[in-house]
Amino acid sequence: MHHYLFSLCLSVVARFCSCICIHDSVQRETTVVSPPASFHHVSRLHARDAPLVSRLPLRVTPWYLPGESALITPTQSRKLQAAMKEVTKIVSSILSVRRVGGPLLLNRDTERFCHSIWRNSTLPNYNKCGSLDKSYRGETCLDVTIPDSHLRGFEVWPELGQEPSHVTSDGEGVPDSDFLLYVRVAQTERCAAQTSVVAYASYCQLDHSGRPLAGVIVFCPEHLKEGEYQHSLVVQVSLHELLHALGFSRSLFAHWIDCSLYETGDTCSFRSRVANTDEYGHHRIYTPTVMQKMGEHLGAGPVGAPLENKDFPLSASSHWESRLLQGSILTASLSPPHLTHLDIITLAAFKDMGWYEVSTNTNDQLLWGKGAGLYFGLPSTCNDTSTGFFCTGSDIGCHHLHLDKGICSTDSFLDGCRIYKPLPSGGECWIKQENEEPGEIYGHQSRCFFSNLTKEVQLQTKVKGHCYLHRCLAPNSFQVKVQGSEWTDCPPGARIQVAGFEGLILCPSERLCMGFDHLTTSTVSSTPISTMVSKEGTIFPTEEGVAVRVQVTVGKGKQWSLDKTMILQEEVLGVIAQNAGMQR
């Protein structure tokens, strides 16, 4: 008997790159195919007498293209597939659809395969394809050739005959799928032009109601290489891009439908207008659930959710405005994974698309701008630092979630507004590392506090971000511990002194111990490892987790390859994560 022992863990990569999304430019160049009846508006919607069909979890099927592994190793390919599996599980847990029976079949573009159509309405074959385009080589989606087995067939008809002169049969289709995502790894011109692009995606097929059925995601291989690959980053970017392909795209706003009365037997109807400009000329989404949730978030009445205005001064974009929705999964410039959320405004948008039922069993994790009022985030008001979200100057402070130290800075998406952006390196309070300054403590329970504590008597020091331990007592109630001190109560909004130190610590209000900043650790094992724990749609950092040792017993004479070992690791990790209630 042979015994193989191996430890399974996921590592935290503390240095996260800044990622930019280029979905809008990619989608503009993607040909989208709809069913032949899509130009008849009434047929695209659920008919009044259509049977009520319960919605079931959305099944996204990643399709890995043969030969695409040339740019990455088998190990990198397995890592990518593990990340995609995690993303599809997240999407399936939040979105449900009315499933169509049978395998998923995609449509062919009539303008591609058909050279001419019989247009004489007196002919028996009126509106049917009359001749095949000899240059037709099949269907593509963002430079990916769709397999014939995934496509519906087509027919070519003579002018008067009752039988087609050419028939291509339907393919087998893809079983157990509601959305087909072709996964490609390629060093494209877009990858070469912008190194901050990890991946990009577009949709290319719609069903009769306008819901996307298929799309492509392209990964730039540089970010999948050994030493560069960051699992949490690939998961975050993949989820972001998949959400675009599933419906959050400016080119699909005109397709969103209102099915609020469908369950009572009424028809679904097109929304009159999804996006419009506000009094400042900025585009916002004005659909019922989005307006309700955005208003509740700001502590105001119903208000539209703002879309990014960079590069889109006269039209809507496919991203939320960074000034108002920092930390959302759908801003154009993504925050690091541990500071990014699948937020309530994005979920509200998916509900208002009309195609999906959306699970709302998640905590309100979007802290940026919460309760800050109707005029929060405007370029004319962001110099007001009293809310604690915006800043002035270029000092070192704390990111608004207080997991990281931050530097007060701006970028091209912020329209001159300045925020505390996480330091490029070394500012992660939640990762154990050497203390930068006296009194600081780094670790999984440490957070960033504005402070000017010092051991030097009568020495005035500047207030800036420092890493200290904290522990929660109740919602918005906590204590703080400085190196060499005892635990000290830290009333929200107060400035406290710490015995043995000069200066003060500012205790943040409604930023810590609010339910979403809690970093879960397991008591199954006390072995400390570095891991990323994902809870309720958000990737949380922690430095303690579970080290799992798996013993595999192989019968005598059986062959056991490295590939089989890696596959087993993936399966075991999946079972552990599922039973622990965590995302891998």
Which residue do the tokens 């939640």 mark?
430
| Pairwise CA distance, residues 571 & 350, whole Å | 31
| Crossing angle (nearest 10°) for helices 74-94 and 562-580 | 20
**241 labelled catalytic:** yes
Integer-rounded Cα radius of gyration of the chain: 27
Beta bridge partners of 131: 116
| Crossing angle (nearest 10°) for helices 288-298 and 344-352 | 160
- Environment class of 368 (CB within 10 Å of its CB; exposed 0-12, middle 13-18, buried 19+): buried
For the beta sheet containing 60-64, the strands, ordered from the edge strand earlier in sequence to the opposite edge, are 60-64, 179-185, 212-219, 199-206
User: What backbone phi and psi angles, to 5 degrees, belong to 151?
Assistant: -115, 150
Contact 350, 358 (CB under 8 A): yes
Residues 6+ apart with CB under 8 A from 560: 2, 4, 552, 554
CB-based burial, 528-560: b 16+ in 10 Å, e otherwise: ebbbbbbbbbbbbbbbbbbbbeeeeeeeeeeee
Nearest to 245 by CA among 24, 534, 19: 24
Kind of pairing between the strands at 396-398 and 405-409: antiparallel
Other beta carbons within 10 Å of 394: 10
Contact 38, 206 (CB under 8 A): yes
Nearest to 448 by CA among 512, 370, 532, 369: 512
Long-range contacts of 569-575 (CB under 8 A, 24+ apart): 569/6, 569/8, 570/78, 570/81, 570/82, 572/8, 572/548, 573/8, 573/10, 573/82, 574/85
Contact 147, 173 (CB under 8 A): no
Q: Two tokens at 467? A: 């890493």
Nearest to 86 by CA among 10, 191, 197, 185: 10
Q: Two tokens at 190? A: 């877009």
| Pairwise CA distance, residues 247 & 365, whole Å | 22
| Pairwise CA distance, residues 179 & 203, whole Å | 10
Of 241, 308, 440, 544, which is the active-site residue? 241
Kind of pairing between the strands at 419-422 and 446-451: unpaired
Nearest to 45 by CA among 161, 194, 210: 210
DSSP string, 458-513: T-----EEEEEEEEEEETTEEEEE-TTS--EE--TT-EE--TT-BS-EE--SSSSS
| Pairwise CA distance, residues 341 & 515, whole Å | 14
Largest CA distance in the chain: 101
| Pairwise CA distance, residues 14 & 430, whole Å | 10
Residues that are catalytic: 241
